[in-house]
């Protein structure tokens, strides 16, 4: 089972976005040494919980600080941008780091509606729902059928990201590799199965949420921070990732309501044996060639330790 990382650059309570971004670089160096295959950076806007609004800014810092990882976006939210600008940016990155750059593309806003509106250049009317046209234009640039790109002949590996049936349809029609966000929609196995049936050359990554510690009990304790942060996010109240003790107190006082929110997602939490079994089952459920792991903790050392234990197979 090939292992990779999705990094959402979580901001811990009492720290800054700059701290979170520097920790992303540190984590990438750590997992590079551990043998992880690729490292993708998520795009989020207008939140106090997650630091990275521009994966294309962080990607070159991580690629320059590592030796063998494929580094990319997980993903670029294409509806916000000009397809040509995205193609040029990732062409340049590919020219700088040949054979190591991925361009993961999504159509979700990565933000609340007000922030998504602020990202629009033309705010006189709602943005067009033209993602397939944008995607086709972008692929045309990268294929060399449109104006020459600055990193030519190098180009990124293109992946379509998704958590819904429509993304699987597009990925199959275009013959693109497909990365499914199980940590958003844990009922996606049938969606991916359809993609595998309809795509001539299917390639699947499944991305799951996992947290590993030396014991099941310690992992459950550490996961309280993410559970509280996620519960508050779903309530429309994003917060920096809280310390474990604060999160445990919150969950004790709001246990039933918080649990109802958290149960919407799949959480693979426990000792190395528990988490390995959970990730292997996830890969089998999706028929995935690769498992990408996203982990949020308040303590950066605990997040590094989690990836270390998962890799120690």
pLDDT reported for residue 270: 97
248-272: average pLDDT? 85
pLDDT at 118 over 80: no
Percent of the chain topping pLDDT 70: 98
The average confidence (pLDDT) of the chain is 93
pLDDT reported for residue 109: 66
pLDDT at 191 over 70: yes
Q: Which domains occur in the chain, in start order?
A: 2-215+267-311 (3.20.20.30)
pLDDT reported for residue 260: 74
pLDDT at 39 over 90: yes
pLDDT reported for residue 234: 83
pLDDT at 110 over 70: no
Confidence tier at 256 by pLDDT (50, 70, 90) = confident
pLDDT reported for residue 170: 96
pLDDT at 113 over 80: no
Decide: pTM greater than 0.95: no
Confidence tier at 150 by pLDDT (50, 70, 90) = very high
**Three-state secondary structure of the chain:** CEEEEEECCECECCCCHHHHHHHHHHHHHHHHHHCCCEEEECCCCCCCCECCCCHHHHHHHHHHHCCCCEEEEEEEEHHHCCHHHHHHHHHHHHHHCCCCEEEEEECCCCCCHHHHHHHCCCCCCCCCCCHHHHHHHHHHHHHCCCCCCCCCCCCCEEEEEECCHHHHHHHHHHCCCEEEECCCCCCCHHHHHHHHHHCCCCCEEEEEEEEECCCHHHHHHHHHHHHHHHHHHHCCCCCCECCHHHHHHHHHHCHHHHHHHHCCCCCEEECHHHHHHHHHHHHHHHCCCEEEEECCCCCHHHHHHHHHHHHCC
pLDDT at 148 over 70: yes
148-173: average pLDDT? 95
- Convert the pLDDT of each residue in 49-65 to its tens digit: 999 999 999 999 999 99
pLDDT at 205 over 80: yes
């Amino acid at each position: 089972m090939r292992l990779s990382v999705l990094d959402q650059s979580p901001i811990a309570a009492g720290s800054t976005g700059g701290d979170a971004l520097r920790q992303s670089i540190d984590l990438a160096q750590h997992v590079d040494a551990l043998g992880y295959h690729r490292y993708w950076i998520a795009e989020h806007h207008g939140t106090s919980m997650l630091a990275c609004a521009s994966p294309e800014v962080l990607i070159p810092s991580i690629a320059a600080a590592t030796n063998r990882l494929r580094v990319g976006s997980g993903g670029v939210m294409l509806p916000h941008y000009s397809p040509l600008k995205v193609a040029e940016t990732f062409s340049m990155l590919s020219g700088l780091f040949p054979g190591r750059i991925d361009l993961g593309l999504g159509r979700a806003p990565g933000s609340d509606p007000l922030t998504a509106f602020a990202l629009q250049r033309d705010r006189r009317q709602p943005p067009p729902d033209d993602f397939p046209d944008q995607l086709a234009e972008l692929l045309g640039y990268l294929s060399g059928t449109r104006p020459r790109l600055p990193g030519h002949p190098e180009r990124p590996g293109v992946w379509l990201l998704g958590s819904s049936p429509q993304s699987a349809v597009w990925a199959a029609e275009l013959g693109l590799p497909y990365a499914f966000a199980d940590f958003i929609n844990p009922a996606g196995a049938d969606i991916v199965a359809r993609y595998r049936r309809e795509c001539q050359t299917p390639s699947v990554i499944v991305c799951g949420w996992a947290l590993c510690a030396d014991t099941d009990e310690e992992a459950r304790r550490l996961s309280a921070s993410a559970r509280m942060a996620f519960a508050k996010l779903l309530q429309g109240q994003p917060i920096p990732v809280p310390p474990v003790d604060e999160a445990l107190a919150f969950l004790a006082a709001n246990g039933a309501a918080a649990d109802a929110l958290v149960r919407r997602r799949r959480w693979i939490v426990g000792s190395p044996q528990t988490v390995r079994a959970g990730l292997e089952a996830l890969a089998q459920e999706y028929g995935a060639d690769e498992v990408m792991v996203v982990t949020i903790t308040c303590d950066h050392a605990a997040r590094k330790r989690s990836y270390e234990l998962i890799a120690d197979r």
